[in-house]
């Protein structure tokens, strides 16, 4: 029988795992657990698919770490020492912690999930995107609540902290740490009363300059429109300025004013108010509507689900081939 002669030392008064990086290798703790259970080096080697010399090397590391033989060879197999008996519970708890850490990523089940998603979007998106998104989410996830928030200067921090989940729209340049995915491209149209006295099916640049306009001072692409008109030295005759789109259908339906706005919101408002949609005779650059999210939540299952819903609903055929980009 082999005797193990250990260097003299005082054993710790509390049976805890030594503070050594070597010990926190899960394979050593797995060896400890299996040897305690089987009492056989041969069976442990078979279980782990390793050679007996390798098992002996690992066991030697454990003995050094714990300053104890841990397992002693007897006629009944490898019997644990009192120190091993005291440690087995802690070792198994540590192994369970390793298992939980390495477990598959958390799941998100939309059918049963009860949580809130906060989406930053423009007022126009409340009309063009939100109704379809809400209907789709309710069908897939009946217990989910959606909150619409503004796109403003606080939006980047809200996305970073998790106060908001995603942002959809034409968003100013974000700092590092954000992902973005193009959903669709917007061009420009003009809206007019369906029975406008001077405008028929066509709308010329001459008419554009002569007619009276409504100016939407804020909202999607307002700066793009203003800069394009300035470059082309087109001075509109503005008779009414509005901060948003809410009153447009009623005003256009009862006046001969016209308005220039992105196609999606224009076509949506035209359906609501029986208005005429005209191709814009002024060359205004198109822009892309994207969804944005912070890198912290790129792999979050719930955030990924919400992004996939938006992509399924709004992603056009060309954009589907593009992968999300990361602003580094």
- What distance in Å separates the CA atoms of residue 282 and residue 10, rounded to the nearest whole number? 88
Coil, strand, or helix at residue 38?
A: helix
pLDDT of the residue at 322: 54
What pLDDT does 103 receive? 67
Distance separating the N- and C-terminal Cα atoms of the chain: 63
- In tens, the pLDDT along 133-161 reads 999 999 999 999 999 999 998 999 999 99
CATH of 26-101, one of 1.10.287.3510, 1.10.287.890, 1.10.10.10, 2.50.20.10: 1.10.10.10
pLDDT given for residue 10 in this prediction? 39
Q: What residue has token string 């005429």?
A: 276
pLDDT of residue 100: 78
Q: What is the DSSP letter of 141?
A: -
Query: pLDDT digit string (tens) for 228-254?
Result: 999 999 999 999 999 989 899 999 999
Low-confidence ranges of the chain (pLDDT < 50): 1-14, 19, 21, 317-321
CA–CA separation, 45 vs 57, rounded Å? 12
Q: Is the CATH number 3.60.15.10 carried by domain 116-185+287-327?
A: no
| 188-279 and 116-185+287-327 share a CATH fold | yes
* pLDDT reported for residue 70: 94
Predicted pLDDT of residue 25: 79
Residues 6+ apart with CB under 8 A from 263: 186, 187, 188, 189
Residue 241 CB partners (closer than 8 Å, separation 6+)? 214, 215, 216, 217
Buried b (16+ CB within 10 A) or exposed e, 246-274: eebbebbbeeebbbbbbbbbbebbbeebe
Element (DSSP H or E) covering residue 39: none
**Closest among 192, 196, 153, 195 to 174, alpha carbons compared:** 153
Q: What is the pTM of this model?
A: 0.68
3-state secondary structure 251-275: HHHCCCCEEEEEHHHHHHHHHHHCE
Do the Cβ atoms of 259 and 199 come closer than 8 Å? no
Q: How far is residue 291's CA from residue 128's CA, in Å, rounded to a whole number?
A: 15
Q: What is the CATH number of domain 188-279?
A: 3.40.190.10
- Write down the domain spans for the chain: 26-101, 116-185+287-327, 188-279
């Amino acid at each position: 029988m082999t005797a193990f002669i250990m260097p003299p030392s005082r054993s710790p008064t509390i049976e805890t795992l030594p503070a050594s990086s070597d010990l926190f290798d899960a394979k050593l703790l797995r060896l400890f657990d299996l040897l305690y259970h089987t009492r056989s080096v041969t069976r442990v080697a078979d279980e782990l698919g390793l050679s007996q010399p390798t098992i002996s090397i690992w066991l030697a590391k454990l003995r050094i770490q714990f300053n104890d033989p841990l397992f002693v060879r007897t006629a009944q197999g490898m019997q644990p020492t009192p120190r091993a008996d005291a440690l087995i519970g802690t070792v198994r708890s540590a192994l369970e912690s390793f298992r939980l850490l390495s477990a598959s990523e958390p799941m998100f089940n939309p059918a049963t999930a009860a949580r809130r998603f906060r989406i930053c979007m423009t007022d126009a998106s409340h009309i063009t995107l939100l109704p379809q998104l809400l209907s789709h989410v309710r069908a897939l996830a009946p217990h989910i609540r959606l909150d619409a928030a503004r796109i403003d200067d606080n939006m980047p921090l809200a996305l970073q902290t998790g106060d908001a989940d995603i942002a959809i729209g034409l968003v100013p340049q974000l700092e590092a740490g954000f992902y973005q995915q193009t959903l669709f491209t917007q061009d420009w149209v003009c809206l007019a009363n369906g029975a406008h006295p001077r405008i028929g099916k066509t709308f010329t640049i001459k008419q554009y300059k002569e007619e009276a306009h409504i100016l939407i001072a804020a909202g999607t692409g307002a700066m793009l429109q203003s800069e394009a008109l300035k470059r082309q030295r087109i001075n509109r005759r503005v008779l009414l300025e509005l901060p948003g789109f809410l009153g447009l259908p009623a005003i256009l339906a009862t006046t001969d004013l016209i308005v220039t706005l992105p196609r999606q919101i224009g076509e949506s408002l035209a359906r609501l108010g029986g208005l005429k949609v005209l191709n814009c005779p002024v060359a205004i650059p198109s822009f892309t509507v994207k969804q944005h999210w912070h890198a912290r939540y790129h792999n979050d299952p719930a955030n990924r689900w919400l992004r996939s819903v938006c992509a399924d609903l709004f992603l056009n055929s060309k954009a589907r081939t593009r992968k999300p980009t990361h602003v580094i």
